[in-house]
Structures are given as structure tokens and as C-alpha cells.
Amino acid sequence: VEASIPEPQRAAWKKYQTRPFTNTEQFEREVVRHVETTLARSMFNCDETAAYAAASLAFRDRLITEWNRTQQRQTFADGKRVYYLSLEFLMGRALDNAMLNVGLKNVAQQGLTDLGFRIEDVIEQEHDAALGNGGLGRLAACFLDSLASLNFAAWGYGLRYRYGIFKQEIIDGYQVEVPDYWLDFNPWEFPRHDIVVDIQFYGNVRKYQDSQGKQISLWDGGEIVKAVAYDVPIPGFETSTTNNLRLWSSKAASGEFDFQKFNSGDYESSVADQQRAETISAVLYPNDNLDRGKELRLKQQYFWVAASLYDIVRRFKKSKRAWKEFPDQVAIQLNDTHPTLAIVELQRILVDLEGLDWDEAWAIVSNTFGYTNHTVLPEALEKWSVPLFQNLLPRHLQIIYDINLFFLQSVERTFPKERDLLARVSIIEESSPKMIRMAYLAIVGSHKVNGVAELHSDLIKTTIFKDFVRIFGPDKFTNVTNGITPRRWLHQANPRLSELIASKIGGLGFLKDLTLLSELEKYADDKEFKKEWQEIKYANKVRLARHIKSTTGITVNPAALFDVQVKRMHEYKRQQMNIFGVIHRYLTIKAMTPEERKKLTPRVSIFGGKAAPGYWMAKTIIHLINNVGAVVNNDKDVGDLLKVVFVEDYNVSKAEIIIPASDVSEHISTAGTEASGTSNMKFVLNGGLIIGTCDGANIEITREIGESNIFLFGNLAEDVEDLRHAHNYGSYTLDPALARVFDEIKKGTFGDAAAFSALTGSIEDHGDYYLVSDDFHSYVQTQALVDEAYKNQDEWISKSITSVARMGFFSSDRCINEYAESIWNVEPQSPEQAEAGAGVA
């Protein structure tokens, strides 16, 4: 690469090449320079926001230098790249993460102190990058961290939403949604105005024969929108590898606005085109585990997928390789079905634009993609209406029909006479209107399909994708149990615990190889160590108590047991069961004598999570939690024995405060509904115990940490179907303790009973789909065991330490290595080796 530049010029470039700061003095110089020039401020008007801005810009400069080198290195190495396509990247804050990953937090801390700031306050200024809803989006963010930390040549592709997930306010006990405009100042992105892709919508397909008599399909007419790239550098931990997250932003093709219309006096419609185009990347759909089938969402999907594929194909073409080598150079992972159109788009590019034969193209396509399924919930499985598709993406619809035709023909050959099978597995559902089943399309167009925890991967093989296992064989289906990055979820969120662990097991190596935590097990009975462990948990609880006080006004006692359930609000996650349990506890306390009360373990029940704006039942649950809090927290009989808190606007940075402060957290979904869950892993890694059902990754957590270190309860997945059947066709009796809770709600103890009738009704009158009543008794009993166990702090802390020591498996590094080996077939590229080979200085 370098050889093309003449020596004197090369020398000049080398001489002045940017050298990232490495010590406090250099850091301070950079901060002051940014304050005085980039921000046009001075010592006299540099507040915390400006200090945040300047510190971030200093780190950004550092990252971008490494980013450039990484990209040069990867281009030179010309190896296989991984592309992770996700509509959601729930990144949270970047500054703290950047400081830790490049190993310069101490430098920054000293530097900021010298300049008159507290690093914690500076970090606090940053607005979360909240381009995601929940687990799926946060998983993508953990994966990016691991991909860079493990030195994989990998890119993330997503949308640059102008508005991320809404901000949640609680007003009079109700959720109110406020827009999250987060781009006011975002030092972490680099606009690439030179990387712009035209994206087509609507129009028609013309078919004709070329001079050789070959059938050609031409998609023309319609509307063009521009996709502009914005790049976000992703630093690896203790490596110079800095990967790229490329987010697309939509812009009108005509530029600012239509001058002709403007000049002719039609101002309104002159800006309409621009607004319509910009609407595409304007807002993240706020649904988690729910498909709504809105046209704008389909537009988002195609816009993002088409821009990303254009980029990927362009990069491949630069290498001048033959098309058949595409799958050796490119692995594309589909995060859920949202990017499934990529399969169709690549087929279109190869056949319509590059002139490959259908079969040749299809072999390339189906060897390139891997599909990760994240849910079995029917309401979350994406389907698109055929008429909608016909209008928006006419050529893609034809290609889907062809993919389906060839697929069904091959099924028919292998399973002749099974007409039902053909109807069952058809990508097109013969409903009215006809619907495209995106998961089926994703399976047919990928070489591997994986679930995200063992139970989940088994379930998809035996339920929703059963027929496809017969058709493609079992090897196409695999499991990769989710993981979390220990950098953010231990080192960053809980620095004291991380340091304590490091002091015992020979340094911070466990942050790169989490299995090293096993060394900790020998301290599970070490008195001195346990004391420090307990002190750190207590300090984290004090910090959370302060946050609760300042945001809700509620005073909680840090010595009480903190019982936490924070996650998206959903009936299947059963926050309703938790709050019914709280009411049950409240009624029990009210009925106790003062003597009996003295023996109780004081508890703080902490809830947090957003409800999709249109999900009424989830919003009702939030309302009930807040109303119960208002009653319980002001009842003199109860005092410190029970407090109920709803933490507003749960997000990544709140999670970093809440998770390290939990004694017990709740992961209590109906068995068979939560694909994996990842916060369960975060809580245990931070020394919290968990109460959970036999669902998702809870099962593997139990296997790793041991049954005696977890509070499991409830019915098993294999019994759910029968129970539901019994509710609908047998006699149904509500659990008696739950019936007393419902009576109290109906008496109006927690405000207008009518507000909650749909919630109680869904359980007592409408089949109790999520088995709240079936599991209630064992839930309450298990909570009583938790109370008892907490009284024996000595044993509790040993359980906590032992559990942490056994959490090595749940690192997202392990998870990414599994994808690399069994799905992507890629190897890491260490920067040192690559630079030695490439002569990059």
C-alpha cells in the first residue's frame, strides 16, 4: 500500500503522524486544546458539560487514530470479515468504556482532577446512546465489544435513529413517553458524507430478453432516498483493534429541498420530500418482542439492508475475487429476522445487477448468511403483508416467490405426498392478505440457524421450526448461549468489586478470560475477603439508595434486602406476579403482631422498565406497581419492612447503578417464553443471587453455579401446554393467596379498581395464559426461603462469591468465539502480528 507513495512524502506523513496521548500531561494538553479551540471556551466557562465534551474529543481522537490503523490492517490482510446486521445497538455511554478499554482511565482521572473536575461527574454528563429496546439490542452492543476485544475483523451495521428509545417519565403513576433526542452533541460518530448510497423504493419491474435470449428483470421508477454513513469507533479492551459500527441516516435524494417547487411558490411540498426521506431513520420502533407490520418499519429494514449490502459488496469487489469466493470473504449474521431482506437483496444484486445464474447466486447467498432467532413468542415473529411488499419492493417480492418455489419443489422431491408439509413450511402464508413469514425466509436463506440458550434452541427445533429440522437436517440448527461483556458489566459498573477480585486472583486477566474467575472459589469462606465483599455490596446499595432518594423522594434502608426486577415490561416476564407477591407480603405484614414483624427480613422491591407505548397491559402493570408503592411506602405499620420503588427510565447507565446493588433479582418468565435473558448473567456476575423459573439461560446458570446457589421455582416448560389446555377446557380455580390479593385490589386499596380489572381478568377469567396463578404458590414460598437465607449473611456471601467464581461461561467472548468457529468460520487477527507482516508503522 505504502509503496505507491513517494519516499519524501511518506517521510513527511510519518513525521507528523498523530501520536495518541499516553500520559496525564498529554491528556491535559488535549483537553485544554479542545476546550479552547473546538469548543471555543476557556478556563472561566468550562463547566462539566464542556469538560465531558473535551475529554470525549480527546479520547475520540485517540480512537480514530487506532480505527484508521485497524482498517488499513484489515484491508491489507484481506481476510474474511464478519458483518453483524442489527436494527438495534443499545450502546449506553461511550466515554467511560473508551477510557477503560484503552487502559487510560487513571490518566484521565488524574488529568481531570488537575483541571478541577471529578471524573464521575464528567462521565455522568453523557447521554446514553439508546438505539435499542432491550435484550436484543444490548446483546448486539456486547458482541461489538467482544469482536473488537478478540481482534476479529468485524463491522456492525445499523440505523442512525434521530430518536432512540423514548424517555420514560412516571406521572401520577402512569408511564408517559418523552422523545429522546440524543444527537445534540455526539462526539462518538463520524459523518461520512462521501459514503452515500441511493436506495430505491416503489416503482415497477420490467422484464425483457437480452441479446442472448436471457430473461432480465429491471426494477425502475419509484423513489430514491439517500443513505449517508455515520461511523462509530468500537475500541477493543487492551488491544489496539478498533472496529467500526456503521449507522445509516436517511436524506432526500434531491438535496435540501426541491428548488423548482420552491420557486414556483409551493413551499410546503418542496420540503415534504425531504421530510419524508428523513422520516425513515427518524425513530426507533419502541416494541420489544412484538411485531406491528407498519410500512415505515419495512422501509427502515430495506433502507438499512440495501445500504449495508451495497457497502459490503463494494468492499468485496475491490479485492477482484471471483463471486464464488464471496462466502469465504464475507459472513453476515442476521440479528433476528429484521434484516432478512438482506438475503433477497443479495440475490437481486447477483442475478439482476451482476448477471449470475440463479443457482450460482443462490449458492453464494445461502452460504453467506447465518440467522439468530431470539424468540418463540408468536406475536414477535415477523410477517409482512404481500400487498405491502408488492407496492414497496416489487422486485423483491418476485424473488421471494422464486425462492419459495424452488424451496417447495425441493421439499416435494424429498417428501412427496406430504401436501400439508408444503403448506406448513411455505414462506408465503395463504391467509388474506397473504403474508411473508420472515423467519422461514431467514432459515431457507441461511447456512446456520441458532437459538440463544440451550432450552430455547431445543424449543425452536421441536416447536416453531420442527418441519425445517426434518427438511434441512438437525446440523443446520445450533445453539449459542448468550453472553455479556465483563468489561462493561463488571469492571465498569462495579469497579471496586473488579479490583477486589483482581487483588486476589493475580490481576485483571479475568476481564479477557472470564473462566479465570474460578480462582475466586477458594475465598468463598475467607473471613477477611467476605467482609470486603459485603462492604462493596453495601456501598453499591448506598449509591442506589441515593439515586432512589434523589429521583423518587423515597427513603430506603440500604441494610434491607434489595429485590430487583428491571427489564422491559411484558406479561410473559411476569412483573405482575412480582407485584402481586408484594401485595401478598403487605397483607401478611398488616396481619402480623409487632413481635412477629420483628422477625421479618426488611425488603425493598425495586422495579424498572419501559412498556411499549401501545401495550396497555404492560402499562397497567406499571400503574399498579406505582399505586402499590404509594400505599405501602406511606403505611406506618409497615415502616422499613417493605418499600416499593419504581425507577423511572430504566436504561443502560441506570442498569450500571442498579445491577451491582442487588441482593436478589427476579427472572421469573413463564417457562419456555424467555429465549435467554442476559440481565440474569449480569446480576450474578455482580454477586447478586437470583430467583427464577426454569427458563432461558437460568437453566445454564443453575448448571454452572449449582442448584444450592439459586432460588428456582415454578412449572416446567414441558408442562405449560397441558396447563394452558386445562385452564381453557377444565375447571379453573385461582390460587387462594392470589385470590386474596385480587380481593384487595378490587376493594380499591390501590386506587380505582376498574383500572386493574383487565389485568386481574386476564388471569381469573381469560385463561391465565402466562400461568401466574399456577406458579404463585411456589413463588411466594420461594420468596420466604429467600427471606430466611438472607438472615444468614455468612452463608449468603459464600453463595455470592461461589456464584461469581462459576460465571466464566457467560462472557460474550466465549459466545463470539463459538459463532466464529461454528458459524462464521473466521479467525482473529492480532494487530501485532498483522503489523509485523504488513509493515504498517
Is position 678 an interface residue for ligand H53 (rule: CB under 6 A)?
yes
Q: Which helix (H) or strand (E) holds 193?
A: strand 190-201
List CB contacts of 166: < 8 A, sequence separation 6 or more: 177, 178, 179, 180, 286, 610, 613
Which of 289, 450, 782, 812 forms a contact with ligand H53 (CB under 6 A)? Answer: 289
List CB contacts of 537: < 8 A, sequence separation 6 or more: 660, 661, 663, 687, 800
Q: How far is the CB of 749 from ligand H53 (least distance, A)?
A: 33
Q: How far is the CB of 470 from ligand H53 (least distance, A)?
A: 24
Angle at 611 between CA 378 and CA 178, to 5 degrees: 135
The footprint of ligand H53 on this chain (CB under 6 A) covers a number of residues equal to 19
Q: How far is the CB of 243 from ligand H53 (least distance, A)?
A: 20
Question: Quick one: how far is CA 212 from the chain centroid?
Answer: 49
Instruction: Give the nearer residue to ligand H53 in terms of CB position, either 454 or 835.
Output: 454
Which of 92, 134, 286, 445 forms a contact with ligand H53 (CB under 6 A)? Answer: 134
Q: How far is the CB of 411 from ligand H53 (least distance, A)?
A: 26
Residue with cell 425531504: 274
Q: How far is the CB of 268 from ligand H53 (least distance, A)?
A: 38
Rounded Cα distance between 203 and 205, Å, is: 7
> By CB under 6 A, which span of 119-127, 132-140, 531-539, 653-661 interacts with ligand H53?
132-140
Instruction: Give the nearer residue to ligand H53 in terms of CB position, either 148 or 380.
Output: 380
List CB contacts of 720: < 8 A, sequence separation 6 or more: 670, 671, 672, 771
Strand partners, 371: 334, 449
> By CB under 6 A, which span of 298-306, 324-332, 626-634, 668-676 interacts with ligand H53?
668-676
Instruction: Give the nearer residue to ligand H53 in terms of CB position, either 136 or 153.
Output: 136
Is position 816 an interface residue for ligand H53 (rule: CB under 6 A)?
no
Which of 258, 336, 663, 666 forms a contact with ligand H53 (CB under 6 A)? Answer: 336
Q: How far is the CB of 139 from ligand H53 (least distance, A)?
A: 4
Is position 288 an interface residue for ligand H53 (rule: CB under 6 A)?
yes
Q: How far is the CB of 613 from ligand H53 (least distance, A)?
A: 16
Using an 8 Å Cβ cutoff, are 397 and 451 in contact? no
Instruction: Give the nearer residue to ligand H53 in terms of CB position, either 55 or 147.
Output: 147
Instruction: Give the nearer residue to ligand H53 in terms of CB position, either 143 or 468.
Output: 143
Rounded Cα distance between 25 and 114, Å, is: 10
Q: How far is the CB of 137 from ligand H53 (least distance, A)?
A: 7
> By CB under 6 A, which span of 349-357, 634-642, 647-655, 671-679 interacts with ligand H53?
671-679
Q: How far is the CB of 675 from ligand H53 (least distance, A)?
A: 4
How large is the angle between the packed helices 341-348 and 394-414, nearest 10 degrees? 100
Instruction: Give the nearer residue to ligand H53 in terms of CB position, either 136 or 471.
Output: 136
Using an 8 Å Cβ cutoff, are 691 and 713 in contact? yes
Is position 674 an interface residue for ligand H53 (rule: CB under 6 A)?
yes
Closest CA to 220 of 202, 236, 234: 202
Is position 676 an interface residue for ligand H53 (rule: CB under 6 A)?
yes
Which of 57, 115, 136, 436 forms a contact with ligand H53 (CB under 6 A)? Answer: 136
Instruction: Give the nearer residue to ligand H53 in terms of CB position, either 671 or 797.
Output: 671
Three-state SS string across 705-725, please? HCHHHCEECCCCHHHHHHHHH
> By CB under 6 A, which span of 119-127, 422-430, 499-507, 672-680 interacts with ligand H53?
672-680
Pairing of strands 167-171, 435-437: unpaired
Which of 20, 92, 111, 135 forms a contact with ligand H53 (CB under 6 A)? Answer: 135
Instruction: Give the nearer residue to ligand H53 in terms of CB position, either 134 or 236.
Output: 134
Residue 625 has which C-alpha cell? 406497581
DSSP class per residue in 731-785: -----HHHHHHHHHHHHTTTS-GGGGHHHHHHHHTS--TT-HHHHHHHHHHHHHH
> By CB under 6 A, which span of 241-249, 374-382, 513-521, 751-759 interacts with ligand H53?
374-382
Is position 452 an interface residue for ligand H53 (rule: CB under 6 A)?
yes
Q: How far is the CB of 610 from ligand H53 (least distance, A)?
A: 12
Instruction: Give the nearer residue to ligand H53 in terms of CB position, either 250 or 289.
Output: 289
Is position 375 an interface residue for ligand H53 (rule: CB under 6 A)?
yes
Instruction: Give the nearer residue to ligand H53 in terms of CB position, either 289 or 308.
Output: 289
Which of 111, 445, 677, 751 forms a contact with ligand H53 (CB under 6 A)? Answer: 677
DSSP class per residue in 302-366: HHHHHHHHHHHHHHHHHTT--GGGHHHHEEEEEESSTTTHHHHHHHHIIIIIT---HHHHHHHHH
- Sign for the CA dihedral angle at 708, 713, 717, 719 comes to positive
Binding pattern for the stretch 481-520 against ligand H53, x by CB under 6 A and - elsewhere: -x--------------------------------------
Is position 380 an interface residue for ligand H53 (rule: CB under 6 A)?
yes
Closest CA to 518 of 816, 810, 146, 818: 810
Is position 339 an interface residue for ligand H53 (rule: CB under 6 A)?
no
Pairing of strands 642-647, 664-667: unpaired
> By CB under 6 A, which span of 38-46, 186-194, 276-284, 674-682 interacts with ligand H53?
674-682
Q: How far is the CB of 202 from ligand H53 (least distance, A)?
A: 29
Instruction: Give the nearer residue to ligand H53 in terms of CB position, either 190 or 572.
Output: 572
Closest CA to 478 of 440, 442, 444, 450: 450
- Count of all residues that appear for the chain in the document: 841
Rounded Cα distance between 327 and 235, Å, is: 26
Rounded Cα distance between 365 and 35, Å, is: 50
Closest CA to 373 of 469, 278, 466, 448: 448
Residues in 138-157 at the binding interface with ligand H53, rule: CB under 6 A: 139
CA-to-CA dists, residue 823 to 82, 277, 445, 625, angstroms: 10, 36, 14, 43
Q: How far is the CB of 289 from ligand H53 (least distance, A)?
A: 5
Which of 62, 80, 160, 374 forms a contact with ligand H53 (CB under 6 A)? Answer: 374
Is position 270 an interface residue for ligand H53 (rule: CB under 6 A)?
no
CA-to-CA dists, residue 806 to 479, 501, 527, 540, angstroms: 21, 13, 20, 22
Rounded Cα distance between 476 and 470, Å, is: 10
- Distance, first Cα to last Cα, the chain: 12
Residue nearest to ligand H53 (CB): 135
Instruction: Give the nearer residue to ligand H53 in terms of CB position, either 332 or 516.
Output: 332
Which of 394, 696, 828, 831 forms a contact with ligand H53 (CB under 6 A)? Answer: 696
Q: Which residues are catalytic?
A: 374, 567-568, 573, 678, 682
Three-state SS string across 276-298, please? HHHHCCCECCCCCCCCCCCHHHH
> By CB under 6 A, which span of 133-141, 168-176, 486-494, 587-595 interacts with ligand H53?
133-141
Amino acid at 70: T
**Which residues are near ligand H53 by CB under 6 A?**
133-136, 139, 288-289, 336, 374-375, 380, 452, 482, 674-678, 696
